[in-house]
A = this chain, B = another copy of it.
């Protein structure tokens, strides 16, 4: 007799493999220029510096052993110093916890802070990894739209005025995935004030903040209120393989997450965490390295946005791409990006349709483009192919209209 698996079957129903991941499988063909991924460029990752740090880390046998659930001590110290500079106050080591990528922090926070049925406010379009976590926690989801200045805090205020009481509000404050925008300083202050007035947590999810092109990102939301839990990661500035994310949170929350991490996976790797410590602590090298990543991503972003404007003109509105990894494109006409996708792939280019990030449907005329892994020439070629695909689509639609 096979075991009964009602919880398994139900959970499989409720969980969908991320649309982005399924697409990545589809677009691995070498003849396709994929702007669909969400990966940093591995050619820009500091392989030699990581190899040197690995060799150095392995001179000490304690780095082979289990480590503390809250993270390798020296890494927590380096992170506390970095976050002190970022937040403009002395961040204590006790507030810092290292996670297996910042996704693990999100997931453990979902368990620590949310009862089933609790209200969670997310941005729309949303970071899919956060949506998965909040849905798995059984939360009720409310969506607040974004504009060029980030989260529409006025819409959040209206929701609060109607008596809604969120347990937490999630924001990707800098260079939003997928929407590309950055929350303005005024909105940051407004969000922090709402959090204090109404007593909710804010999760400020900030993996892209250091990838600014022209000017540094504004002071974090967390610099305005102790109600803000701040997450960041080494994946976008160093390498995802190091699986190092971190959280800065009040110590009661930090303690709750630490206890859950014991049960989730005991602890992280002292080896990879020591590598991250070494690289983050090597100030001059790090500055030069991140500057180089910024410069190259900035050129690529400019090439992509320039090509979109010159080839598609008034047919699209795209973000300016002032940092991060993504450009968001809204078609001004009725172009449906889900219907366009097979034609685009036929023409040799891939993207993620906006609807993949929609909280409750919508964004059918939008797409997310990732500019990190293609050079300027490839990005121009990708936009050419996309323009042809849009043409194909228009021709087919016209043909369909004629044949009706």
Contact = CB atoms under 8 A, between A and B. Distances in A.
A104 B21 CA distance: 22
A1 interface: yes
A334 interface: no
A202 to B, nearest CB: 9
A215 interface: no
A12 B200 contact: no
Nearest to A274: B241
Given A107-B263, A199-B3, A50 B58 contact: yes
Contacts of A269: 241-243, 269, 272
Contacts of A21: 69, 262
Interface string A349-374: 00000000000000000000000000
Nearest to A242: B269
A62 interface: yes
A28 interface: no
Interface in A199-255: 199-201, 226-227, 235, 239-243, 252-253, 255
A269 B275 CA distance: 13
A393 to B, nearest CB: 32
A48 to B, nearest CB: 8
Given A8-B112, A241-B271, A269-B242, A45 B64 contact: yes
A403 interface: no
B64 A263 contact: no
Contacts of A63: 241
A82 interface: no
Interface centre among A54, A62, A113, A241 (most CB of B within 10 A): A241
A55 interface: yes
A8 B252 contact: yes
A132 interface: yes
Interface in A246-291: 252-253, 255-256, 259-260, 262-266, 268-272
A2 B112 CA distance: 16
Contact of A42 (B11, B47, B62): B62
Contacts of A252: 5, 8, 12
A45 B58 contact: no
Nearest to A202: B3
Contacts of A235: 66
B199 A8 contact: no
Contacts of A1: 196-199
Interface string A165-177: 0011000000000
Contacts of A197: 1
B39 A47 contact: no
Contacts of A45: 61, 64-65
Nearest to A2: B199
A227 B99 CA distance: 33
Contact of A112 (B11, B54, B240): B11
Given A11-B111, A67-B241, A256-B11, A265 B55 contact: no
Contacts of A84: none
Contacts of A240: 64-66
Given A11-B112, A18-B262, A227 B270 contact: no
A101 B2 contact: no
Given A15-B263, A21-B262, 10 more contacts: A3-B168, A3-B199, A7-B112, A8-B112, A8-B252, A8-B253, A21-B69, A45-B61, A65-B239, A103-B264
- Nearest first, the 7 A-B pairs at minimum CB distance are A1-B199, A64-B239, A104-B265, A241-B271, A132-B263, A100-B265, A66-B240
7 contacts: A3-B227, A21-B262, A51-B55, A51-B58, A65-B241, A103-B264, A107-B264
